[in-house]
Structures are given as C-alpha cells and as structure tokens.
Amino acid sequence: MSKKTIPIRAYDKPAGGFGSLHGTAKALTSNGPYPALATLPRLNQPQGVDCPGCAYPDSPSSKSVDFCEQGAWAIAHEGSKARATPAWFAEHTLDVLRGKENWELEAAGRLTAPMLYDAASDTYRETSWEQAFALAGERLRALGPQRTVFYTSGRSSNEAAFPYQLFARAFGTNNLPDSSNYCHESSGQALTMSIGVGKSTVTREDFEHAEAIFSFGHNPASNHPRMLGDLREAKKRGCKIVIFNPMFERGLEEFADPQSPTELLSGHGTKLADAYFQVRVGGDLAAITGIAKAVLERDALDRAFIEEHTDGFDAFVAVMQQQSWSDIEQASGLTRTQLNEAADYYIASNATISAWCMGLTQNEFAIETLQMLVNLTLLRGNVGKPGAGLMPVRGHSNVQGDRTVGITNKPKAEWLAGLERVFGFTPPAQPGLDAVGAIKGLLDGSVQGFVGLGGNFAVAGPDSPRVLDALGKTELTVHIATKLNRTHLYPGRLGLLLPCLGRTELDDQSGDAQFVSVEDTASVVHSSTGRNRPASDQLRSEPYIVSELARHTLPASSIDWQGMGGNYDLTRKLIEQVAQGAVSGFENYNEKIRQQRGFRLPNTAGERIWKTATGKARFIAHALPAETIMSRARAQYGDKVLCLATIRAHRQYNTTVYRDPKGEVDRYRGVHGSRKVLFVGPEVLRRLGFSDGELVTVRAAAPDGIERKVEGIRLIEYALQGDDVIGYFPELTPLISPELVARGSNTPAFKQVPVLLEKA
C-alpha cells in the first residue's frame, strides 16, 4: 500500500462564506496590500476598473460591493510588488528559468522594460522601445503575412484589439487565433447557426425572473463566483436549480453569501441545487437528448412559439424518436428516471435559463451538444422572454469584446467591407489560422512568426512541450505581456518581450489619461479606468505597443497608427465607423461609453429576430454518435483507456498558478499541497487494480500514436462515475494531442482526453 500524501479535506461548509472572506484577505496580503486594497472598492463600479478575473456581468443595481475572492487574487497579482527587472533577467538564463515551476515564473513579478533575447548569454536583455519596434517591423516584413500568426488572449481591451486586427489585415493575413478558440468557440458557432447570434441572450436581470436555471459544466464558486449570488437570490425566490456535472461541486450545492451577516455567522448557506445530475464526462449530448425526448413524449411544448418562430421541428422529432433510451442512458450515465425528473423541472417552469461553460464546449461533440440544448430551449419557447434564454458564461474579461471588434480568423464579409470603406485597403478574405491551426503550423514549421497580445499560448494549448520547442525554432516571437510565463521562455531567432500596463494602472498618454472599454457576457460594453501607478515608467499601453508595431511594420500605411496608439476616442470613433452595417449598437460609442454603466449591444435572438440562414430559430437535429474519441481510442489501445477532463483548481487563473501561503490548491474539492493529482472513481481503482493515494504515470492514448506522458501523479479517490478521471491543467496538458478537437469549432477537446494509467 502506498502512503497517502495528498491530504484531502472534505469541505462540508457552504462555498463562499468565511472561507472566501479569508481567501480575499490572503490575496490582499500576499503581495503587499496597498495596490489591491485601493483598487477593490472600484472593481466593477461606474468609472471604476473592470475586474480582469472573469466576464460575468456587473450588477445592474448599484451594488456597493461587486467583486469576489477570485477577483481580489487577480488584482493582487497584477499589483504584485515583485519586479522581473533587466538585472533579474541577467541573473537567469532561459535554460534555468525553464526548470522553474509556473508559479515561480509568475512570482518573478511584473516585467519592467522591453527585452530582447540574446542567444550568446541565453538571457533576455534590455533594449529600447524604438529598437524593439524597428527590429520587429523589419523581421515581420521579411517573413511576410502568411507565415505569421497574431494571437490574442481575451483580456485585451477593445482599444487594443481593434488596431491589432487592423494591423494583421493591413499586413495581409487573417491569422488571428485567440483564446476564444480554446474556450467558447463551440458556443459561438453553434448558437450562430441555430439562433443567429453567438452570444448570451440572457442579462443579469433575467435571473430575477427565471423559474428554473439549468447549469451545465461549470464551477462558478471558483471561476465566476459572482454568479453564485444571482443563483442564491433566484433560489430564495423559489426558482429551481438543476445541475449537470460529473463532479459534485460544493459551490453548486450550497453557497453562503459573504455579504450576508446571517449566513456568514450561522455557517449555513443557501442550498442551491434542487437536483444534481452526475452526467458522464462528454455525456451531455445524450442527457439533453433524453430530456428533449421526455418533453416530446409528454407533449409539453410551446406550440405557438414553434409554429411562429422555428423550422426543422418535424425532422427533429423524427431523429429524437430514433434515439433509444438504452443508448441515452449508457452515453449519459443517467437513468431514464433521472432524465424524466430533469424534464419535470423543465416542464414545470415557464421561464428557464440554460447556462454553461467549459464542460460543454471542450469535447468532440460540443457543437452538437449545444445545438441540442438550443433544441430543448426552443421546445418550450425559452428564448426571447424575461427570465429565459441561453447563456454561455464567458471566460476572459473581454474575450467577447475582442471578437466583436474583429479578432477572429474567420471575419464576416460585412466587417471586412467596413475596414475597406474606412481605411481604403482590401483586407484578405480567406480564413486564417485558428489556435489549433497555428499549433499545427508551428509543429510543421510553416509558421515562423508569432506575435502574442497577452496570454500563454503554448501552455494554454494542446501538446505544450512540443509546441514550446517549435516556438523556440521560429524566426520571430513577440510577446506583449504583464508578467513572465513559460511561452516567453522559448524565443524565436528574434525574441522580444514587451511589457505593458495592467488594467488597474493609469494609462497616461502625454498628460491625457485614457480609459478602455470591455464587453461582458451579457454584451454590456462599459469603460475601465486604471488609476494605480504603473509598475515601471517603462511600461507602455497595449494600444500604443500594437500601433507602434504596426507603424514600424507598415511604413507606407496611411492608417493613423499614432492616433490610435494614444487617443482611444479616435479608436472608438473608427470602431463605430467600421461597425456600421456589420455590428449594431456602436452608434455614438464615445458618448455611450461615458454613461454610468455603459451600453448593451443588441441581441437579435433575445428579441426573437432570427438572423439565421432560414430566418427562423432552427431545430438542428443530431443523432447520438456511433463513434467518439473514446470509442476510437479503445479500439486502438484497449479497454483500459480512461476519459480525462482537465479543469481549473480554485487557486489559479488559467495558466497562472497562484501559490497559496497555506498550500491550499483547490478549497472546495479539498485538495492541499500538490496540483499533481488525478481524481478517479472507485470503479477505476477496482477494475485497474490501483489504490487511493497511489503514484502513477499517466500516458496518452492519442490517435496520432505519439508518446506523451506525465509522471508523478497522485490518485485521489473521488465520487466519479465509471471511467471518468479529472485533473488539473496546465500540469496534464502535455497529454493532449492537437488531433483531439471539437468537430466544426476546432476547439481542443480538453475535457475528453483518452489516457492510460501505469504504476510508477
């Protein structure tokens, strides 16, 4: 018997409560309290700072406190007192830095000066901004547009993203992969086909009217805690909450509002879930099919809505009739009785919100699953009325806005026409590379230039070790970043690291303080104004850096890059002009952005206007697939193959791992001390002959046959079904082949990775 060394402490308190107050306090003291303390009261407030933590909508009422523990950590880390100065870089070769943990790179602190990689000393060395821009421009021109990719992480503002996409297109490419490709791409595509918009039809006000909320595949207690407040309020009104998740997430079971004295002091929160269905990983398509079938069997339909607003209903019914209950039960891991119970909740409600996050978007049949969810929604007319709708809960704080202002490898013709009209050049029309496309291009050598506007591209994507190596063999890497991360440690032949202002910092352009705008999950565009003193006087704003890169790459360009680099009203004016005929709602952008809480971009589906191919909301039927990533892996590698979902722990922000002073890794799942763990169900342990606490090597059972493994992983027995296993990224990302993607959206199947366990 191996000794159990990862202490698991069952968390029997409600999520939130004192635990999160204490966690907030820890955040404030972890890096020296001052900057974070000054920023917190201004988070998500009018004229305040948009929290870089998540994209959950701000409170429409003037809630005096609208931030959470997780936002406090994000702010505290941006405001860290540590500095990765040129002197620090001189002492650390990249070879040495590559041996460090992710949290150690983060802990080096804020970047302070533009840095250029020097191969002879294997260090980044300080350079001047002017030289950095000149070198980058010259190398980009030599490479040309086809071999270069321009990655965006969804934290960038509209005012940075717009000149960035303009730069790529004026240069001649739509190679604009972004973090959305790793995230909600499947949602955007599925919804656009089905209801004509790729965004949430739900606003925060809808939570006040919902009679039922169905939640799929997310962990709000860690990843969008402010949503728990809305769920709690809804619950107190009598709204039913129905959960589908392979893990029993504490935060969805019970939540104590840290701002409610009674809940705080009694230690009892509000029970949230009325029903909690432990669906199998990747089993949601079958589960939703089962519920839809039950609703049809009971004829509990909104016939008038179906008649007036939809098409494809008869074909959909025919496909549903062909799906057998035994197949549905097998694929979903839920019984017919359970799915009928879920249907009871659905039928009893006259206004249902369906919300989801990464549990639905990062698997092979993500688009099919989401379109089945739309089908279920349409059956009872649950879109375009108060208290009802479809809600992809976005990840990064401005990932939605970046898309709105043109960050995409597949631009719409209307957007390109707008660029042509306003800037007088013909932008490329053919689609560019998305994130997985860029990865493949890096691996085969066809991509030789990488520009990153934030993010940690290689660590956030599949096959990280191979992609990092490939980046290190390119001609050019340019990273615009606040802090050091692993992707930066693999510079191209010309490698630049350009430090930018964080969102909380004062953006002073020649004495003229600028603010930026961001769009949340509910399509509300609002301003964000940094006030803190920048971490170094060498920092430049993202819009400035992007515009200068463009100006130095395209010296003959007549576009006013310098204007956009320092005067964001000009950028907003240009966005407004390009958006005409392409995106509605940006009229008088500069006036509306100065209103108290900004403005909401219209959502046609929310008004029952269907901008789809047929002008109707579309039932798009999908039969349960005969073959899946898992069935193919089992055919290739045998029946010991397990299905791994990679998820976030409480103490991390995507690839940024926060080190908690007390060693807390994942509070609500009870993990302390180590992130190198794998949750496994009792069935796996019994069938494969492993024990709780045992150390194992995890091997990929990948379709491309390439050997991938992660060693030193500790098994934790957990309440999971069948062959499902769950662990943390980025530690387990090296197991993921870029061949494992969602059909159609090309989003990596981060939640459906076939793996094998081996004794250590």
Ligand X SMILES: Nc1nc2c(c(=O)[nH]1)N[C@H]1C(S)=C(S)[C@@H](COP(=O)(O)OP(=O)(O)OC[C@H]3O[C@@H](n4cnc5c(=O)[nH]c(N)nc54)[C@H](O)[C@@H]3O)O[C@H]1N2
Q: Which residues bind ligand X (CB under 6 A)?
A: 53-54, 70, 153, 155, 179, 182-183, 216-219, 222-224, 244-247, 249, 279, 281-282, 284, 357-359, 362-363, 395-396, 453-457, 460, 480-483, 485, 500, 502-503, 542, 645-648, 652-656, 729, 733, 750-751
748 secondary structure, DSSP code: B
Pairwise CA distance, residues 681 & 723, whole Å: 7
Interface ranges with Mo ion (CB under 5 A): 183, 395
List the single partner that 332 binds among ligand X, Mo ion, none, CB under 5 to 8 Å by kind.
none
Q: Which two tokens stand for residue 590?
A: 């500069």
Q: Are 143 and 476 in contact (CB under 8 A)?
A: yes
How many residues in total does the chain contain? 760
Query: Over 144-156, what HEC string results?
Result: CHHHEEEEECCCC
Query: What are the distances in angstroms from CA 303 to CA 235, 296, 310, 379, 490?
Result: 29, 11, 10, 8, 58
* Least distance CB 10 / Mo ion (angstroms): 29
**Partner from ligand X, Mo ion, none contacting 222, C-beta within 5 to 8 A by type:** ligand X
Smallest gap from Cβ 640 to ligand X, in A, equals 20
Nearer to ligand X, 617 or 736 (CB): 736
| Alpha carbon distance 44, 576 (integer Å) | 24
Which option in Mo ion, ligand X, none does residue 716 bind, with CB closer than 5 to 8 A by kind? none
The CA-atom distances, in angstroms, between 724 and each of 412, 624, 640, 751 are: 39, 19, 12, 10
Q: Which of ligand X, Mo ion, none binds 112 (CB below 5-8 Å, type-dependent)? A: none
- Partner that binds at residue 481, options ligand X, Mo ion, none, CB closer than 5 to 8 Å by kind: ligand X
Which residue lies nearer to ligand X by CB, 302 or 508? 508
Q: For residue 130, what are its two tokens?
A: 């002017």
User: Which partner in Mo ion, ligand X, none is near 648 (CB below 5 to 8 A by kind)?
Assistant: ligand X
- What is the spatial distance between Cα 276 and Cα 254, in angstroms, rounded to a whole number? 12
Residue 325 phi/psi, 5-degree rounding, is -60, -35
We find the least distance from the C-beta atom of residue 29 to ligand X, in angstroms, to be 18
**247 touches, from ligand X, Mo ion, none (C-beta below 5 to 8 Å by class):** ligand X
CB of 385 to ligand X, least distance (A): 25
Q: Considering CB distances under 5 to 8 angstroms, the limit depending on partner class, which of Mo ion, ligand X, none binds residue 652?
A: ligand X
Query: What is the phi-psi region of residue 316: left when phi exceeds 0, alpha when psi lies from -120 to 50, beta otherwise?
Result: alpha
Q: For ligand X, which is the closer residue by CB, 306 or 343? A: 343
Contact call for residues 703 and 737 (beta carbons, < 8 A): yes
C-beta closer to ligand X: residue 360 or 582: 360
Instruction: List Cα–Cα distances, 351 to 19, 294, 390, 445, in angstroms.
Output: 33, 18, 11, 52
Looking at the Cβ atoms of 20 and 181, the one nearer to Mo ion is 181
Considering CB distances under 5 to 8 angstroms, the limit depending on partner class, which of ligand X, Mo ion, none binds residue 655? ligand X
Q: Which is nearer to ligand X, 358 or 489 (CB)?
A: 358
Q: How far is the CB of 736 from ligand X (least distance, A)?
A: 6
Radius of gyration of the CA atoms of the chain, in A: 25
Nearer to ligand X, 158 or 179 (CB): 179
Q: How far is the CB of 219 from Mo ion (least distance, A)?
A: 13
CB of 56 to Mo ion, least distance (A): 13
What's the min distance (Å) between Cβ of 295 and ligand X?
Answer: 19
CA atoms of 6 and 718, how far apart (whole Å): 13
Residue 379 or 647 with smaller CB distance to ligand X: 647
**Lookup result for tokens 């002091």:** 265
Residue 503: contacted member of Mo ion, ligand X, none (CB under 5 to 8 Å, by partner type)? ligand X
**Cβ 485 to ligand X, closest distance in Å?**
4
d(C-alpha 339, C-alpha 284), whole Å? 11
Considering beta carbons, is residue 402 or 660 the nearer one to Mo ion? 402
Asked if residues 523 and 400 have their Cβ atoms less than 8 Å apart, the reply is: yes
The minimum distance between CB 679 and ligand X, in angstroms, equals 9
Alpha helices per DSSP H over 323-382: 325-332, 336-348, 358-361, 366-379
Residue 157 or 278: which CB sits closer to Mo ion? Answer: 157
Q: Are the C-beta atoms of residues 387 and 210 closer than 8 Å to each other?
A: yes
CB of 246 to ligand X, least distance (A): 5
| Contacted by 70, from ligand X, Mo ion, none: CB < 5 to 8 Å by type | ligand X
237 CB burial (10 A radius; 0-12, 13-18, 19+): exposed
Which CB sits closer to Mo ion, 173 or 654?
A: 654
Cβ-closest position to Mo ion? 395
